[in-house]
Amino acid sequence: MPLVVQKFGGSSVADVEKIKNVARKGIREKKEGNDVIVVVSAMGKTTDQLIAMAHRITNDPNPREMDMLMSTGEQVSIAMLAIAFHSMGEKAISFTGPQVGIITDSTHRKARIKSINTEKIHKALREGNIVIVAGFQGISTENDITTLGRGGSDTTAVALAAALNADVCDIYTDVDGVYTTDPRIVPKARKLEKITYDEMLELASLGAKVLHSRSVELAKNYNVVIQVRSSFDDNPGTLVVKEDKSMEDIVVSGVAYNRNETKISIIGVPDHPGVASEIFSKIADAHIVVDMIIQNVGGDGKNDISFTVGKEDFVQTLKISKQLCEELGANEVRSDDKIAKVSVVGVGMKTHCGVAAKMFRALANAGINIDMISTSEIKISCVIRSDDLDKAVQAIHDELELEAHPS
Amino acid sequence: MPLVVQKFGGSSVADVEKIKNVARKGIREKKEGNDVIVVVSAMGKTTDQLIAMAHRITNDPNPREMDMLMSTGEQVSIAMLAIAFHSMGEKAISFTGPQVGIITDSTHRKARIKSINTEKIHKALREGNIVIVAGFQGISTENDITTLGRGGSDTTAVALAAALNADVCDIYTDVDGVYTTDPRIVPKARKLEKITYDEMLELASLGAKVLHSRSVELAKNYNVVIQVRSSFDDNPGTLVVKEDKSMEDIVVSGVAYNRNETKISIIGVPDHPGVASEIFSKIADAHIVVDMIIQNVGGDGKNDISFTVGKEDFVQTLKISKQLCEELGANEVRSDDKIAKVSVVGVGMKTHCGVAAKMFRALANAGINIDMISTSEIKISCVIRSDDLDKAVQAIHDELELEAHPS
């Protein structure tokens, strides 16, 4: 029998009516002749509320106890969903992560799945149940409850799909698929039928919040077909799949953006080996993730080094940079928190040229100045003024004719 | 090292400030040189809220899933309490019922503890931790989460105290001990230093809500010393202990009452063997607990059978009684939901006489009519008009001179 894993996030189970809606989706899939596993997150804002409650005691709560606390959120969801299935006459049984044998390492609050014991799920499926599994949580080899960190429920769903060799892992969200760009900015943005894992990874890292990178990486490694689809209708969504020949013809899949960027430049850094390493080691030591890095060689034996970090890390990074500036004997530090990043993503860029030129032309025609440029095999990113972002996304989308279905 | 088990109910952990207060009590006990285990219930009205949420889906939710749902309440409490201990610089670790090996039968929503695996607790204590255990919950031999039903957290605390051979099991509540009667009715009511298990059982079954009968029975069977004491101060409370010689001199420990009573009489029941059995089997089949039963033999070969049930069962019991009346060929059914029960409890009654006479005299002098009387070895109960209850409690308390400390 085909096996479908369905995953529903917090907003899809935020109240009793929405939970019933999730149950209807599970039953529909079952009636179509599939075995069904449903993975759910905590209801609505539950996890945030639990964290806030702990923070009323201390700003630095013990990670083991935070996992003990937070994991209750999903446990409430699975029980409520099981009760909803029963009320509709459907056999269903719920399991916590620990119960179902999702074994993780002991890194509390961001544990990684080591193995999944599928026996209990197989048994429950054989007995005719829809199997409900709590997302986001597992159990360490020390028998402690762990949580998987951001995007954890997606990770649970994909890991289960991989372990059980599911035919598809349906990720239900409040959007009905992956678009060529954000429809709030470009109303003519088009829903994609398919996208590759690598493109999805670039989109996720660029701030498109549809899927967390970890779950996409996991899906790529185990070749799990993900479908991003809507909680609110039954239409097919976007498939995230392995790259195939036909997809190379589609040069560009989409235009992504990220408003959560700030830029820091250390000007006049003496040019000797190990300088860059020294700078970015110091920043990494503070657990700050740097996105783009650009180094311009100056004529005077000195370099200008610019890089971007998330808005939440801006103040701390600026402080570290000023210390570094002094230690290294650089001239000065400049910063800018009014920037944004716009990117074009597509596996076809590996074999097609001219995309960058089109992107730069679109920006130029719209009168938008490019501050930084960075490229990968399947992506070109430009840093621009944040005020120009909407105009930039629209212009690039138009220039690349993404609203038209590729024939 | 002496071992103290502390138990705090929902109202004692209702918010962050109260949880910190619980942590302070644990630390005080630890600083006095004890090993400390803290058992907590769900915060405030959490359990009721979870039940209400499930009932918004169906009136008859699956018991296994209800246990999955409800057990989250205590899990939140133990994590929050651990975080509070840490914030005060104290080593502490929390465990759910399943984690700590509280093995129960599979009767969901009212499971009974079969065994406790103390190894994990001993290890955590040896490592210098205050050990926090979720009340009310365990794990069945099928690996499902179970809950212990009403008074479940008291039961958890007493069971742990028994399994670990604790020196005392302190049950913290919103009253500071067990009184000779309800101080809201009799302001001069006196706090008892000691009370026997049997007396406590009679008081619990009579509606005094201090301790649930199950936990007292368990304490009696394993000879666990319980102390009922206040969450709001550090004064000693009332010890619930095994009967000893000295206690027999105290004839009466207290006056209890129960407003949650209703009376049903089936009049003119043909007197043949098996009639009573037929009546009370039918009522038991509907899961209704009958309290007092009185049968008067009439002169005409017919009996009048009267009994009391809780207010919540009144309507259903009345319906069953009317069916029975017809089936048995009895004359009629009478009912009264304006009654209350007042009782005198004391182990000394086993060896002293005259208590009943004093009680009846007190009621007569106060002009109160007695409707039904029932007695046990250590208790005398009278059913009276509910309007007369406060007056009756005061009169009996005065007549027996309970406000005076027995010397």
Query: Does residue A166 share a domain with residue A41?
Result: yes
Residue-by-residue DSSP string for A341-384: EEEEE-GGGGT---HHHHHHHHHHHTT----EEEEETTEEEEEE
Q: Measured between alpha carbons, how far is A137 from A144 in angstroms, rounded to an integer?
A: 11
Of B190, B182, B194, B177, which Cα lies nearest the Cα of B229?
Answer: B177
Q: Return mean pLDDT, chain A.
A: 92
Residues of A in contact with B75 (CB under 8 A): 68-69, 71-72, 75
Residues of A in contact with B57 (CB under 8 A): 16, 19-20, 80, 83-84, 87
Query: Does residue B288 share a domain with residue B157?
Result: no
Q: B241 with B194: CB under 8 angstroms?
A: yes
Kindly state whether B16 is in contact with chain A, defined as any CB-CB distance less than 8 angstroms: yes
State which residues form the domain around B307: 255-399
Q: Measured between alpha carbons, how far is A94 from A82 in angstroms, rounded to an integer?
A: 6
Domain final position from A141, A173, A205: A173
* pLDDT at residue A407 greater than cutoff 70: no
Of B205, B186, B185, B189, which Cα lies nearest the Cα of B197?
Answer: B205
Highest mean pLDDT of the ranges A254-258, B168-172, B348-352: B168-172
pLDDT band at A175 (very low <50, low <70, confident <90, very high): confident
Cα R_g (chain A), whole angstroms: 23
CATH number at residue B100: 3.40.1160.10
Model confidence over A91-120: pLDDT tens digits? 999 999 999 999 999 999 999 999 999 999
Residue reference for tokens 């003496």: A270
Query: Does residue B12 share a domain with residue B161?
Result: yes
* Angle of the B152-163 helix axis to the B213-222 helix axis, nearest 10: 10
Q: B199 with B345: CB under 8 angstroms?
A: yes
Query: Does residue A276 share a domain with residue A372?
Result: yes
Q: A240 with A208: CB under 8 angstroms?
A: no
Predicted pLDDT at A248: 64
Chain A: give the shortest CA distance to residue B133, in Å: 12
Kindly state whether A1 is in contact with chain B, defined as any CB-CB distance less than 8 angstroms: no
pLDDT band at A303 (very low <50, low <70, confident <90, very high): confident
User: If contacts are CB pairs under 8 Å, which of residues 97-136 in chain A contact chain B?
Assistant: 99
What's the predicted TM-score (pTM) here? Answer: 0.85
Chain B: give the shortest CA distance to residue A407, in Å: 48
Segment A290-308 shows an average pLDDT of 85
Segment A187-194 shows an average pLDDT of 92
Query: Does residue A160 share a domain with residue A25?
Result: yes
Predicted pLDDT at B119: 94
Say whether B94 and A56 touch across the interface (CB within 8 A): no
pLDDT band at A395 (very low <50, low <70, confident <90, very high): very high
Chain B: give the shortest CA distance to residue A166, in Å: 26
Q: Which segment of A376-380, A385-389, B101-105, B243-247 scores lowest on mean pLDDT?
A: B243-247
- pLDDT > 90: what percent of chain B? 76
Predicted pLDDT at A350: 79
User: If contacts are CB pairs under 8 Å, which of residues 45-64 in chain B contact chain A?
Assistant: 50, 53-54, 56-58, 61-62, 64
Residues of B in contact with A69 (CB under 8 A): 75-76, 79-80, 83
Identify the helix (H) or strand (E) that includes residue A23.
helix A16-31
Predicted pLDDT at A137: 97
* pLDDT at residue A131 greater than cutoff 70: yes
Q: Return mean pLDDT, chain B.
A: 92
Of A210, A243, A247, A240, which Cα lies nearest the Cα of A225?
Answer: A240
* pLDDT at residue A385 greater than cutoff 70: yes
Segment B390-396 shows an average pLDDT of 96
Q: A210 with A192: CB under 8 angstroms?
A: no
Predicted pLDDT at B273: 80
Say whether A143 and B99 touch across the interface (CB within 8 A): yes
CATH number at residue A301: 3.30.2130.10
Chain B: give the shortest CA distance to residue A209, in Å: 29
Query: Does residue A47 share a domain with residue A138?
Result: yes
Q: Is residue B133 part of a domain?
A: yes
Query: Does residue A121 share a domain with residue A260?
Result: no
Q: Is residue A200 part of a domain?
A: no
- Pairwise pLDDT comparison (B335 vs B207), residue with the higher score: B335
Residues of B in contact with A54 (CB under 8 A): 79-80, 83
In A117-199 the beta strands, taken as DSSP E runs, fall at: 130-134, 137-140, 145-147, 168-173, 194-196
Overall number of domains in chain B: 2
In order of A70, A138, A149, the CA distances from A107 in angstroms are 15, 11, 10
- Pairwise pLDDT comparison (A213 vs A14), residue with the higher score: A14
**3-state SS, residue A329:** coil
Predicted pLDDT at B302: 86
Q: Is residue B190 part of a domain?
A: no
Q: Is residue B345 part of a domain?
A: yes
Q: Write down the ipTM of this complex.
A: 0.84
Contacts of B261 (CB under 8 A, 6+ apart): B291, B308, B309, B310, B311, B339, B340, B341, B383
Q: Is residue A28 part of a domain?
A: yes
Residues of B in contact with A79 (CB under 8 A): 54, 65-66, 68-69, 72
Chain B: give the shortest CA distance to residue A17, in Å: 9
Q: In what order do the strands lie in the sheet with B102-104?
A: B113-116, B102-104, B137-140, B145-147
Segment B250-273 shows an average pLDDT of 90
Q: Measured between alpha carbons, how far is B166 from B4 in angstroms, rounded to an integer?
A: 6
Query: Does residue A387 share a domain with residue A266?
Result: yes
Q: Is residue B37 part of a domain?
A: yes
Residues of A in contact with B19 (CB under 8 A): 57
- Pairwise pLDDT comparison (A362 vs B204), residue with the higher score: A362
Segment B401-405 shows an average pLDDT of 87
Q: Which segment of A87-101, A290-304, A377-391, B377-391 scores lowest on mean pLDDT?
A: A290-304
Domain final position from B121, B140, B173: B173
Q: Is residue A158 part of a domain?
A: yes
Predicted pLDDT at A207: 61
Q: Which segment of A51-55, A366-370, B107-111, B288-292 scores lowest on mean pLDDT?
A: B288-292
Predicted pLDDT at A250: 75
Chain B: give the shortest CA distance to residue A226, in Å: 29
Q: Is residue A217 part of a domain?
A: no
Closest partner CB to A69 (pick from B20, B64, B80): B80
Query: Does residue A279 share a domain with residue A380?
Result: yes
Segment B222-236 shows an average pLDDT of 93
Chain B: give the shortest CA distance to residue A135, in Å: 15
Predicted pLDDT at B78: 98
Model confidence over B90-119: pLDDT tens digits? 999 999 999 999 999 999 999 999 999 999
Query: Does residue A305 share a domain with residue A166?
Result: no
Say whether A87 and B57 touch across the interface (CB within 8 A): yes
* pLDDT at residue B248 greater than cutoff 80: no
Segment A231-258 shows an average pLDDT of 86
Model confidence over B26-52: pLDDT tens digits? 999 999 999 999 999 999 999 999 999
Closest partner CB to B57 (pick from A53, A56, A83): A83
Tokens of A89: 């006459």
Residues of B in contact with A66 (CB under 8 A): 79, 83
Query: Does residue A164 share a domain with residue A263?
Result: no
Model confidence over A202-218: pLDDT tens digits? 887 666 667 888 899 99
Model confidence over B306-324: pLDDT tens digits? 999 999 999 999 999 999 9
Say whether B83 and A50 touch across the interface (CB within 8 A): no
Q: What is the 3-state secondary structure (H, E, C) of chain B?
A: CCEEEEEECHHHHCCHHHHHHHHHHHHHHHHCCCEEEEEECCCCCHHHHHHHHHHCCCCCCCHHHHHHHHHHHHHHHHHHHHHHHHHCCCCEEEECCCCCCEEECCCCCCCCEEEECCHHHHHHHHCCCEEEEECCEEEECCCCEEECCCCHHHHHHHHHHHHCCCCEEEEEECCCCCECCCCCCCCCCCECCEEEHHHHHHHHHCCCCCCCHHHHHHHHHHCCCEEEEECCCCCCCEEEECCCHHHHHCCCCEEEEEEEEEEEEEEEEECCCCHHHHHHHHHHHCCCCEEEEEEEECCCCEEEEEEEECHHHHHHHHHHHHHHHHHHCCCEEEEEEEEEEEEEECHHHHCCCCHHHHHHHHHHHCCCCCCEEEEECCEEEEEEEHHHHHHHHHHHHHHCCCCCCCC
Domain final position from B150, B173, B196: B173
Predicted pLDDT at A208: 62
**Quick one: B221 exposed, middle or buried, by C-beta within 10 A (0-12, 13-18, 19+)?**
exposed
Closest partner CB to A80 (pick from B16, B53, B99): B53
Closest partner CB to B94 (pick from A54, A65, A79): A65
Predicted pLDDT at B308: 94
Segment A187-195 shows an average pLDDT of 92
Segment A53-57 shows an average pLDDT of 97
Q: Which residue of A has its CA nearest to B65?
A: A79
